[in-house]
Amino acid sequence: MSAKSVDIHNKRYSRFMFVLVILFATFAGMLMQTSLGTALPTLMDDFHINLATAQEATTWFLLANGIMIPVSAYLSTKFPTKKLYIFAFGLLLVGQFISYSAPVTNWTWFLIGRIIQAISVGITMPLMQVVLVYIFPAEKRGAAMGLSGLVIGMAPAIGPTLSGWILDSSHSFASFTLSNSWRSIFLLPMAVIALTFLLSFIFLRDVIPNQPVHLDFRSLVQSTLGFGLFLWGLTNVANANYGGWTDMTHVIIPGAVGIFFIIIFLWHQLEMRHPFLDIRVFAVKQFSVTTVLISLSMMAMIGIEMMLPTYLQQLRGLSPLSSGLTLLPGALLIGIMSPIAGAVYDRSGAKRLARVGFLILLIATIPFLFFGLNTPRDFITVFYSLRMFGIAMVMMPLTASAMSALPKEKAADGTASNNTVRQVLTAMVVSLLSSVTQNIANTNAPVASLKQQNIFEFGQRTLDASLKGFHVSFAISLFFALLGLILAGMLHSGKVIEQDPDLLDEKGGN
């Protein structure tokens, strides 16, 4: 144990066990962000819902997650680290059990569990990054953020694969899983969370200095209404029961009202002496650019991750396990490469890594535009893995660079701001791609009368229509990669050192 491993009460603790507990618990929580992607067809069958409604399992998760992340800066500053983690882990366990036990006649009950899970992850994920900033020295920041890449990058990537394996295997244990195989997806994360919840009482410590900050109720209401309504409007875009982007009641009005509250929330933060969320961190160019680039990498990753399992199962007829195994090498690769990329950042900085990473991501996405009904699975696996390799080279170095561009005492605000932008944009992408894929498929669908005349041709045209929708979604992900490659040139050259005077001068000093 390092001699520097002492908490804010000057008591020694095991930094290794501390990090291990929070990594495993946060990993189990982040798995739930994408693990249901492979299970969407199963959920559609069991709950008797369409694709757009099933997608709410992800969009509502992102919505609640996006609401909570701005609050995380206040929570991590106000409350002791250990108590906050114990509360969040307990909440995550409750949320997972609610979704696990939801009757197939009550989709709303399932979503309530998802929302509770998202609230917990909205606390634990940004809190993990702040903790790593505090317990690791600046010269090891890249390697530390590389560890967080096992969670932020690998967990969403491996989620579809793991759930595919569980869905295929759970049929042998139908009685244990209440005769619904999708329930099995929650069992392993619940077991991990239960164990880490108990270990939290032993190994976690208070490592973030607390301050008697006052909860500004006005900021809390503005933040909740702003991000909540805006993201809610986005989730309604893909709902087949509504009118898409032009639906005034369910999309345009809540979206516009949400934007209004976000604007007055941001304005209020700038006026406050002690803001609820210090958005002045965006005045540092390096932090702002890295935040945008991290968001673009996540948007490009989620854009493929959420649509590819559905393409493999609905258009290619693969089982959940087969589609998951197709994605497994890429998921493992991002887990292997994230710590390595973080260590490389400690030596050379983020600019070169980001440029190469986005270039690889761009090149590896192009073949997705030409995927057909008979594209070899090995071909899909290779290019999906290349995409994950590029994302690993981008995400963790940029995260370390963003956190190092700010003074340590601004880590909570920086992490919350960074993750809020990322989650909002990710939610937008999920809604956009779901609606685009469905709308293009509907627009190009054959006329119903053809089914009576030639059922074979009707089926083929239906598949072709759906394929066009997926191609457009993949093209949007390609655009995000291209934009990231262009903007990477704006990064600071070399490694960013914490409280670098050149970077602080960009916002007028401390």
DSSP 441-465: HHHTPPPTHHHHH-HHHHHHHHHHH
Q: If you ran DSSP here, which 8-state letter would residue 8 be given?
A: T
Report CA Rg, the chain: 22
At residue 6, φ and ψ (nearest 5 deg) are: -130, 145
Assess if residue 4 is contained within a domain.
no
- CA 359-364-365 angle, to 5 degrees, is 100
Residue 5: inside a domain: no
- Contact (Cβ atoms closer than 8 angstroms) between residue 19 and residue 146: no
In a domain, 2, yes or no: no
Q: Is 138 helix (H, G, I), strand (E, B) or coil?
A: helix
Query: Of the candidates 244, 275, 306, which is a domain's last residue?
Result: 275
Q: Do 112 and 74 have their domain in common?
A: yes
Pair 29, 44 in one domain: yes
**Cα–Cα nearest to 130, from 211, 30, 207:** 207
State whether 307 and 227 are in the same domain: no
Q: Output the pLDDT for position 360.
A: 95
With 0-12 / 13-18 / 19 or more C-beta atoms within 10 angstroms meaning exposed / middle / buried, residue 352 is middle
How far, in Å, CA of 153 to CA of 134, rounded? 21
Domain boundary among 259, 275, 291: 275
Instruction: Please say whether the beta carbons of 302 and 426 come within 8 A.
Output: yes
Residue in 416, 410, 507 with CA at minimum distance from that of residue 211 = 410
Quickly count: other Cβ atoms within 10 Å of residue 171's Cβ. Answer: 11
Judgement on whether residues 290 and 255 belong to the same structural domain of the protein: no
Q: What CATH number should be reported for the domain holding residue 352?
A: 1.20.1250.20
Asked if 361 and 304 touch (Cβ cutoff 8 Å), the reply is: no
Q: In 10 A of CB 391, how many CB atoms?
A: 31
On whether both 141 and 193 belong to a single domain, the answer is yes
At 458, list the tokens.
């009707």
Give yes or no: residues 376 and 261 share one domain: no
Positive or negative, the Cα torsion across 129, 132, 138, 139?
Answer: negative
Q: In a structure prediction context, what are the per-residue pLDDT tens digits for the chain, which is 510 residues long?
A: 344 588 889 899 999 999 999 999 998 888 877 778 677 778 888 888 877 778 778 778 877 887 888 888 889 888 999 999 999 999 999 999 999 999 988 999 999 999 999 999 989 988 998 898 888 877 777 777 777 777 776 777 677 777 777 777 654 444 444 444 788 888 889 999 999 999 999 999 999 988 888 888 899 899 989 988 888 887 777 666 677 778 888 889 999 999 999 999 999 999 988 888 888 888 888 889 998 998 898 888 877 877 888 888 878 888 777 877 888 888 888 888 888 888 888 777 788 889 999 999 999 999 999 988 888 999 999 999 999 999 988 888 888 888 788 887 888 888 888 888 887 787 778 777 877 787 787 777 777 777 677 777 777 777 888 888 888 888 998 999 999 999 988 887 766 665 554 444 444 433
pLDDT tens for 322-355 read 877 888 888 888 888 888 888 888 777 788 889 9
Three-state DSSP class for residue 204: coil
Same-domain check for residues 251 and 140:
no
Q: Is residue 155 part of a domain?
A: yes
Print the domain residue range for 257: 216-275
Q: Report the SS3 class of residue 243.
A: coil
- Asked if residue 329 and residue 305 are part of one domain, the reply reads yes
Hey, what are 20's tokens?
């291990």
How far is it, in rounded angstroms, from Cα 198 to Cα 126?
21
* Maximal CA-CA distance, the chain: 80
Q: Which two tokens stand for residue 175?
A: 């009685």
**Does any domain span residue 342?**
yes
Q: What confidence tens digit (pLDDT) does each residue in 71-93 have?
A: 888 898 889 999 999 999 999 99
State whether 326 and 447 are in the same domain: yes
Model confidence pLDDT, tens digit, residues 275-285: 888 888 888 88
Contact of 166 with 315, CB cutoff 8 Å: no
Distance CA 84, CA 87 (A): 5
- Residue 25 confidence (pLDDT): 92
CA 41 – CA 181 distance, rounded (Å)? 12
In a domain, 7, yes or no: no
Which pLDDT score is estimated for 238?
65
Measured between alpha carbons, how far is 163 from 151 in angstroms, rounded to an integer?
16
Cα separation, 501 vs 405, whole angstroms = 10
**Domains in the chain, number:** 2
Indicate whether 285 and 204 sit together in one domain. yes
Helices (H), 35-137: 40-47, 51-54, 56-78, 81-100, 107-135
Residue ending a domain, among 275, 290, 305, is 275
The rounded distance, in Å, linking the Cα atoms of 68 and 3 is 35
**Ordered DSSP codes for 315-363:** IT---HHHHHHHHHHHHHHHHHHHHHHHHHHHHH-SHHHHHHHHHHHHH
Residue 188 lies in a domain: yes
Contact predicate 425/299, CB 8 Å: yes
Considering the domain boundaries, does residue 9 fall inside one?
A: no
| Alpha helix (H) residue ranges in 376-454 | 377-404, 411-443, 449-453
